[in-house]
Amino acid sequence: MSSEGIDWRDYQVAVAEFFRGQGCSAEVDKSVPGVRATHKVDVFVSFVRNGVVCRWVVECKLWNSRVRKEKVLTLKAIVEDVGADRGILFSESGFQSGALDAARKSNVTLVSSLEEFKQTASMGRDSINLVLTPCEEGNAPPAYKFPDGDQPESIFLSQGKLFVGNWGRGNVAIVRPMEKQIETIINLDRYERLDSATQRRAIHQYPPGQMTVADGKLFLGQVFSEFVLAIDIDTQSIVKRIAVPGGGEGAIASSPDGGTIYFASNRANQIFAVNTATYAVETFPFPQGGRGSMCILAHSTKPLLYIGIQRGGTVNGRSYVGGNCFLATFDLERKMYSGYIYLAEVQEDRSDDAIPIHLLFDPIQECLFVGMFQSRRGIYKINEQGSKILATRSFEPNQHNIHFQWVDPISQAFFGSKLLSINRNNLELVIMDRYSLLVEETHYLGSAPNGPRSVVVYGNQAIINYPHRGGLLFHELASAA
């Protein structure tokens, strides 16, 4: 990289972007506290290798002259003071002989060409093992933890790859479930915020929301930002930021052919249909009065779209005090709503505050399962048209759930003739008969704040993300087939 016409700030950003592309976290102009002082470093890099968090201090000198010995000694001192593993000093103009001597037999690496460094570096391409960690409770399964303390808030399985959205560090990890290894880490966008206490600017990462895969890309809502991201899976590159009024908080799903993704905004009360090749956007409003959504699903073969709406429903034209959640079915060919069913429970002229939180279509029975949040109804079984309740499966609070009347079955998945459910407040995985909804097995998953989150099935295993246990749980399902 030539220093001519390049701003030093751009040089810092280019260095940081390179490390991010290798699966690292890289923060520009980072204030790093040390034993003796707080140091402002150009780029602060962190990543996990063999279960150990590694931290590098990177300095970028886009000078017209070679770097002197004193700068190397200063970097060595900073590395030691902050407890970093290595220092790296970039200088496109090279280094004086004294600087080269000072760096020998030390943990400081000198780099005289970013472009050459890009071509030769392979750091971050190695797989990272999830760390098997027993639960302190002997009757609960172990967790396969993310070594850097990430909290896996969401998971999505596609073609043998498990995409794990981590809120703590604002990234998506691609996990090989068979090997229980992290293949790579994709960092999301960053933003600047002024710390009200210190009046200093700080760099933060946006957390990932719900995810889906279509056309070789991972699509996800980037929470607290104004975008849905399209990420090329092969290169782990953000290839498009799709502007969404109201931000990236909401529900997302893909069409069966992968040609369209649907984003139901939790803020703007609209559905955004995005062409996955051209990124052209078409919008459809929620049904009149409908507000907020955290689940959306496309029918597996028919042009129907199911949307769980949090608020604004009515019964025979009447709206009650409370939530009034409902399910809406949208006909994609006619571009109009064709099905509607009120899901809230009404007692003493008041609706509960329930929310439809998960949708799962059953192609064998041609029906829809709806997992409910903050509802004593539990799971609804609804006809394909989205107009009639066929059955309900309610659950009683167990000994682990002493605060709520409901159990929050917030995620479901099929395994042969079985229906699996994560009952969050009960801290359990429930296995039911797919057709009768009779409970056959319950499995305790351990105690941690906010409980387990989601379940997907890979082969004969149920994979469960448990954010405050810091990892994934793997439950053998062979006996439940």
Q: 460 is written with which tokens?
A: 């004969």
Predicted model pTM: 0.76
Strands 108-111 and 86-91: parallel
* SS3 state at 103: helix
Q: Is the dihedral of CA 391, 323, 465, 143 positive or negative?
A: negative
CA–CA distance, 470 with 150 (Å, rounded to integer): 6
Q: Are 323 and 342 in contact (CB under 8 A)?
A: no
Query: How many angstroms from the chain centroid is the CA of residue 359?
Result: 18
284, β-bridge pairs = 271
CA distances from residue 460 to 30, 133, 178, 441 in whole angstroms, order as listed: 45, 21, 11, 16
Q: Are 442 and 469 in contact (CB under 8 A)?
A: no
Residue 121 is given by DSSP the state: -
pLDDT at 5: 54
Query: How many angstroms from the chain centroid is the CA of residue 411?
Result: 15
Q: 435 is written with which tokens?
A: 């057709």
CA–CA distance, 477 with 415 (Å, rounded to integer): 8
pLDDT at 349: 92
Strands 336-342 and 346-347: unpaired
DSSP H or E segment with residue 13: helix 8-21
CA–CA distance, 308 with 293 (Å, rounded to integer): 6
CA–CA distance, 135 with 133 (Å, rounded to integer): 7
Q: 287 is written with which tokens?
A: 């049904």
CA distances from residue 276 to 127, 208, 238, 462 in whole angstroms, order as listed: 29, 19, 14, 30
Phi, psi of 20 (to 5 degrees): -65, -35
pLDDT at 173: 94
pLDDT at 479: 57
136 Cβ contact list (under 8 Å, min separation 6) = none
pLDDT string in tens for the chain (481-residue length) = 545 556 788 899 989 888 877 767 888 999 999 999 999 999 999 887 666 788 999 999 999 899 999 999 999 999 999 999 999 999 999 999 999 989 887 889 898 888 877 765 544 456 788 889 999 888 899 999 987 778 999 999 999 999 999 987 889 999 999 999 998 889 899 888 887 777 788 778 899 999 999 999 999 999 999 999 999 998 888 999 999 988 889 999 999 999 999 999 999 999 999 999 999 999 999 999 999 999 999 999 999 999 999 999 999 889 999 999 999 999 999 999 999 999 999 999 999 999 999 999 999 999 999 999 999 999 999 999 999 999 999 999 999 999 999 999 999 999 999 999 999 999 999 999 999 999 999 999 999 999 999 999 999 999 999 999 999 999 999 754 4
Q: Which residue from 271, 471, 270 is spatially nearest to 262, judged by alpha carbons? A: 271
Q: Are 128 and 100 in contact (CB under 8 A)?
A: no
Q: Which residue from 141, 130, 215 is spatially nearest to 179, judged by alpha carbons? A: 130
Phi, psi of 72 (to 5 degrees): -65, -45
* SS3 state at 110: strand
CA–CA distance, 98 with 247 (Å, rounded to integer): 52
Domains and their CATH numbers in the chain: 8-120 (3.40.1350.10), 128-480 (2.130.10.10)
CA–CA distance, 421 with 111 (Å, rounded to integer): 52
Residue 206 is given by DSSP the state: P
325 CB neighbour count, 10 Å cutoff: 31
